[in-house]
A = this chain, B = another copy of it.
Amino acid sequence: MKSIIIASTSTIHGSGYLEYLLEPLKIHFKNADTILFVPYARPGGISHDDYTSTAAKAFAKIGKSVRGLHEFDDAEAAVKNAEGIFVGGGNTFVLVDQLYKNNALLALKEAVIKGTPYLGTSAGSNICGLTMNTTNDMPIVYPPSFKTLGLVPFNINPHYLDPIEGSTHMGETRETRIKEFHIYNSPPVIGLREGSWIAVEGNTLRLQGTLEARIFEYNKTPYEVAPNSDLTFLK
């Protein structure tokens, strides 16, 4: 049975890394002693080792140890044998490129479908969707494909930002960007605000946290869903 937490961000303003998620993570990873951490997205370009240390410090607070996927010679086998998996944020293009190059993408998908509990934040959440076409990240590398895990039947837009009232900046708002996505693609997109996450348990999907999420469906006016909403209807 799938068991996934798809979080908008690892960190909310004024709080430590993963701090706002530690209570749900205790339950989510209750049967795992060691978490396999995928550091490929390298936020700010930090090294795999440094990024893994950051994750390890957070998980130590709930009594879990952490191993970085980069420490294993065989990434595919490491994923297959993991008790729990956390894919951290950073740059989605770099993450997806590395997942393809290390043959880890299909292994991740199979492990999660078999029931290995998964946590994604930001880029690690983006890849839970059908494609990475709705990432906010800069395309600093060219991955072999934009196709991702497809663990949910829609796309994720993490760090969702509402249009800034009175802004004089002429760059596109997030809403405009997602509208443009729907000129060329039909899957729904969930704009997940920072502090929100989607909890997937088997076939049930539920919005968690205290904030509404914004839903963009093809050929429909975008709308809000309330915290704790069942999202199973989205296809």
Interface residues of A (CB under 8 A from B): 9-14, 42-45, 90-91, 93-94, 132-142, 145-146, 159, 161, 168-172, 176-185, 194
Q: Which of A179, A180, A184 has the most CB of B within 10 A?
A: A180
Q: How far is the CB of A20 from chain B (nearest CB, A)?
A: 11
| Given known A45-B180, A134-B138, A138-B136, contact A171–B159 (CB-CB < 8 A) | yes
Other-chain contact of A138, B10, B170, B177 (Cβ < 8 Å): B177
**Contact between B180 and A44, CB atoms less than 8 A apart:** yes
Docked complex Cα distance between A41 and B93 (Å): 21
Docked complex Cα distance between A140 and B137 (Å): 12
Q: How far is the CB of A225 from chain B (nearest CB, A)?
A: 21
Contacts of A178 in B (CB 8 A): 138
Contacts of A10 in B (CB 8 A): 170
Contacts of A180 in B (CB 8 A): 42-45, 90-91, 94, 138, 140
Residue ID in chain B nearest A136 by CB atoms: B171
Contacts of A145 in B (CB 8 A): 142
